Amino acid sequence: MAPMLEVKNLTTFYKTRMNEKICSVDNVSFVLEDGKSLGIAGESGCGKSTLALSVMGYYFPPLYYEAGTIVIDGQEITRLAPDTIRKTVLGTEIAYIPQAAMNALNPTRKIIRFIEDVLKAHDSTMSKKEIRSLAEERFSILNLPPKVLDQYAVELSGGMKQRTVIAISTILSPKVLIADEPSSALDVSSQKIVIKLLHDLMEKGFVRSMLFITHELPLLYNVTDDIMVMYAGEIVERGTAHEMVFDPIMPYSKGLMNSIIVPEEGTRGHVLQAIPGVPPNLKIRPQGCRFSERCRYAEEPCRTLSVQELSASAGRSYRCRHKLDDLYKIYEEELPRLLDEDTKLPSEGVK
Ligand SMILES: Nc1ncnc2c1ncn2[C@@H]1O[C@H](COP(=O)(O)OP(=O)(O)O)[C@@H](O)[C@H]1O
Ligand SMILES: [Mg+2]
């Protein structure tokens, strides 16, 4: 399968007012293949949204580029001027639905105006009539009534607003769509509609490939082909959605998966557990494994020696000094004890 988005050794940082560097994306490499969807999961603050901004190559202070390359459909976009990125990349090559975008729609403008903005930025010669006919066609394919075009955001329900935001963002049929927590503010039935809509967009060819960001892991299992887990600015594991949910290798992924229930499976085979401690400070770039201070299996070398890089290609890969067989052995040995602890949890603790 041909790669659609190739990110190699990408490092970006925020500069604070105190002139400190916060390295929120640190040496990240991955490939998103044509026709595929890739989930990015991790605790709040690990750098998911910064990674989304960074792969668009569109930098504004306080976010800065440090190193790495970004290639979309064979074309390198790293270090292009912001104006070139805006005119030739955003919307067509890569489109981004920011976190909480639906609440950012200007309430004094009709929906059609946002579409005009996107289309005019791409092709200033388009007439209002052409814009309306394209918008109506796309809205009807996405089961959005055309009357929405003449409404204001405040007149729409939460689910409808989010679907409208998705329709606006994808009007130019991007090769890569990045959806940043697109359903986390919605109720369960609206979440399902939004996820189905994103699937439909891919199936109908309006979006070629997708990065889906969330902290809600059960969502990714049904939504994406592959999942990457991010921790403290780094990708720490990648595999198929099934592998990552049912057979996570790296202790952090394991902890993250164990703190959730996959709806289809219930609690069968899962031990619900919180990950102790808090993520590290991103101002410091330690030598050893960043998860080591919270990892129950960490040994001295984990804290001091650098960990091997994650493979950039699609497929199974994880960052941990422990060998696979050793990790499986540890997990197997501790399971009876964890199950025992689990049965002592008060039932209201299990959501
Ligand atoms: N504008 C900013 N200036 C400085 N630091 C920021 C800024 N935005 C985010 N950060 C820091 O970057 C880190 C990653 O943030 P973010 O990418 O939003 O994480 P996530 O999307 O995974 O919750 C956090 O530690 C956050 O404090
Ligand atoms: Mg975020």
Full pLDDT tens readout for the chain, 351 residues: 789 999 999 999 999 999 999 999 999 999 999 999 999 999 999 999 999 999 999 999 999 999 999 999 999 999 999 999 998 999 999 999 999 888 889 999 999 999 999 999 888 899 999 999 999 999 998 889 999 999 999 999 988 999 999 999 999 999 999 999 998 888 888 888 889 999 999 999 999 999 999 887 767 888 999 999 999 999 999 999 999 988 999 999 998 887 765 555 554 455 556 788 889 999 988 889 999 999 999 999 999 998 888 877 778 999 999 999 999 999 998 888 777 766 555 554 444
Residue among 13, 44, 50, 96 to mutate when testing ligand 1 (max atoms within 8 A of CB): 50
Tokens, residue 241: 């959605």
| Distance (Å, whole) CA 16 – CA 14 | 6
For the chain, what's the residue count? 351
| Distance (Å, whole) CA 113 – CA 29 | 37
Residue among 14, 51, 63 to mutate when testing ligand 1 (max atoms within 8 A of CB): 14
Ligand with an atom nearest the CA of residue 97: 2
Ligand with an atom nearest the CA of residue 24: 1
Q: How many CA atoms lie within 13 A of 46 on its CB side?
A: 24
Residue among 22, 28, 40, 54 to mutate when testing ligand 1 (max atoms within 8 A of CB): 22
Residue among 15, 16, 24 to mutate when testing ligand 1 (max atoms within 8 A of CB): 24
The CA-to-CA distance between both ends of the chain, in Å, stands at: 39
* pLDDT confidence of residue 349: 43
Which distant-in-sequence residues (6+ apart) come within 8 Å of 93 by Cβ?
72, 73, 75, 77, 174, 175, 176
Give the position, in ligand 1's atom list, of the atom nearest the Cα of 52.
17
In the reported structure, the alpha carbon of residue 23 is separated from the centroid of ligand 1 by a whole-number distance in angstroms of 9
Q: Ligand 1: which residue has its CA nearest to atom 14?
A: 47
Ligand with an atom nearest the CA of residue 43: 1
* pLDDT confidence of residue 287: 85
- Residue 48: CB within 6 Å of ligand 1? yes
In the reported structure, the alpha carbon of residue 243 is separated from the centroid of ligand 1 by a whole-number distance in angstroms of 28
Q: In what order do the strands lie in the sheet with 176-180?
A: 94-97, 176-180, 209-214, 37-41, 226-231, 234-240, 317-318
* pLDDT confidence of residue 259: 72
* pLDDT confidence of residue 314: 73
Is the distance from CB of 224 to CB of 39 less than 8 angstroms? yes
Q: In what order do the strands lie in the sheet with 21-33?
A: 21-33, 3-15, 63-72, 75-76
In the reported structure, the alpha carbon of residue 48 is separated from the centroid of ligand 1 by a whole-number distance in angstroms of 8
- Residue 50: CB within 6 Å of ligand 1? yes
* pLDDT confidence of residue 351: 40
- Residue 44: CB within 6 Å of ligand 1? yes
Q: Ligand 1: which residue has its CA nearest to atom 24?
A: 45
Q: Ligand 1: which residue has its CA nearest to atom 16?
A: 47
At residue 257's C-alpha, the angle toward residues 202 and 351, to 5°, is 100
In the reported structure, the alpha carbon of residue 41 is separated from the centroid of ligand 2 by a whole-number distance in angstroms of 10
Ligand with an atom nearest the CA of residue 181: 2
| Distance (Å, whole) CA 285 – CA 151 | 49
Amino acid at 240: T
Q: Pick from 83, 73, 88, 90: which is nearest to 34 by CA?
A: 73
- Residue 62: CB within 6 Å of ligand 1? yes
* pLDDT confidence of residue 342: 61
Within the chain, how many helices (H) and strands (E) appear?
11, 11
Cα dihedral across residues 174, 44, 82, 65: positive or negative: negative
* pLDDT confidence of residue 337: 76
In b/e form, how buried is each residue of 87-100, taking b as 16+ CB within 10 angstroms? Answer: eebbbebbbbbbbe
- Residue 49: CB within 6 Å of ligand 1? yes
* pLDDT confidence of residue 76: 97
Q: Pick from 231, 230, 190: which is nearest to 212 by CA?
A: 230
* pLDDT confidence of residue 147: 96
